[in-house]
Amino acid sequence: MELERRSVLKAMLGTGLVPLGGGARAALPSSLVRVLVGFPAGGGTDVMGRVIVEKLRQRGSLKNVIVENRAGVSGILACEALKNATPDGTTILFAPSASTVMPVLTYRRLPYDPRTDFAALTLTGTLQSALAVSPALPVHSFQDYLAWVKADPRRGSFGTTALGSSTHFFGLTVGAAFGLPMEPVGYRGAAPLVADLTGGHIPAGTGGLADFLTHHESGKLRVILTSGTRRATSAPNIPTLAEMGHPQRATQGFYAFFAPAGTPRPVVEALSAEVAAATIEPEVRSQLLALGLEPEVSSPEALAKLLREDIETWRPVIEASGFKAD
């Protein structure tokens, strides 16, 4: 544990993140802080956000902090709410790249631009997309699924936690890679998709690994493939797209915290350091890993750079698909 603490501290120093001193703590909001989450309660994003928020409460640097679910439109409602919030640090956003990267490329008229309307705080971690199947299917592996769909192309429909997200395009990528007629069905977050998978109302679904992992472990659904170049730490028994012969198609997403643009720099730096410190607490890291997220923190500048680069990485993929959300 001590080695882990030292390595984490080294990582924080390398990214410019240091423990809060008295002056930095003074820049933190003294009133209620709302953490916006753009997906329903009970889904993977909500659960991860609440794990970090609970640690923020325990640390005591923020006097009062709560999660506020603004579910809908692939997280866009929460992002728009952040843009319109007072830039004083009392409203921040916890969001996946599905809400901050993909909409820039899939919406003709988006009510915000994360590159200019948000102030980056810190990366929380990276995660892979996952393909899961209903336990009602006679399928226990990805190879089983390939054979099952190829036996009847009408079986290729899959739910996705958000149309226009990286999980949606992961499903289409799997179809293109293996010659499957994959047809997406949009859901409003992970919770309703998991419910339909568990009930056998839809054969397969794509989401973040974090959306599915606890349900996979409890037998409510079966995760049979992830999107990365190597197996996730939290899912060492689940094969990746790269392993299946398509390393050039491997991808991963990220989760991060943002404040409204115009938030004073001392507040941005204080919030960044405090949220990052909460994220790397050993018990929080363990919980996030169990949920499928590979914890990783960053400076505001590094997160802003990642956001810009990810948009450009996905641009040719989205343009080639022809998909538009509106």
First and final CA of the chain: distance in angstroms?
A: 49
The CATH number of 129-249 is 3.40.190.10
User: Is 121:300 a contact under the CB 8 Å cutoff?
Assistant: yes
* CA separation for the pair 73, 49 (Å, rounded): 18
- State residue 224's pLDDT score: 98
Predicted confidence (pLDDT) per residue in 113-138, tens digit = 999 999 999 999 999 999 999 999 99
pLDDT attached to residue 39: 87
Q: Which residues contact 67 (CB under 8 A, 6 or more apart)?
A: 34, 35, 37, 46, 49, 50, 53
**Residue 183 burial (CB count, 10 A):** 14
| 3-class SS shares of the chain: helix, strand, coil, % to 5 | 45, 20, 35
pLDDT of residue 2: 32
Query: Looking at residue 18, what is its pLDDT?
Result: 47
Please give the class, per CATH, of domain 2-127+254-321. alpha beta
Q: b or e along 41-54 (b: 16 or more beta carbons within 10 Å of the residue's beta carbon)?
A: ebbbbbbbbbbbbb
| 2-127+254-321 and 129-249 share one fold | yes
pLDDT at 138: 96
Spans in the chain with pLDDT lower than 50: 1-16, 18
CA angle, 218 as apex, 217 and 220 as ends, to 5°?
110
Domain locations in the chain as residue ranges: 2-127+254-321, 129-249
Do residues 162 and 100 lie in contact, with contact meaning Cβ atoms separated by under 8 Å?
Answer: no
CA distance 65 to 31: 9
Show the tokens assigned to 229: 């170049």
